[in-house]
Amino acid sequence: MAARGHAVLEGALAAEACQGNPNVFRVWLGSPTNGAGMLHLILHPEHFNEHSLPGIIADTFLEWSNARHLDSTR
């Protein structure tokens, strides 16, 4: 499912399965158990209002996606 794309996957096993895929935007909520270097964004939900988390993740994803697009056009 991860290789196919257009999916939201949750948990340590999903993050591990997607590690080598450069087309996956990896987010972790809380303290990562391992492999934090392979994550694009780590958020500690207890420091945010729960309603702001989707926007923060979406904004960061858009920045990541735009940077990838700009890199591919150079």
Distant-in-sequence, close-in-space partners of 41: CB < 8 Å, separation ≥ 6: 25, 26, 27, 28, 57, 60
Q: Over 90: is that where the pLDDT of 23 sits?
A: no
Q: Tell me, what's the pLDDT at 35? A: 64
pTM: predicted TM-score of the whole model, two decimal places: 0.78
Q: Over 80: is that where the pLDDT of 11 sits?
A: no
Q: Over 70: is that where the pLDDT of 59 sits?
A: yes
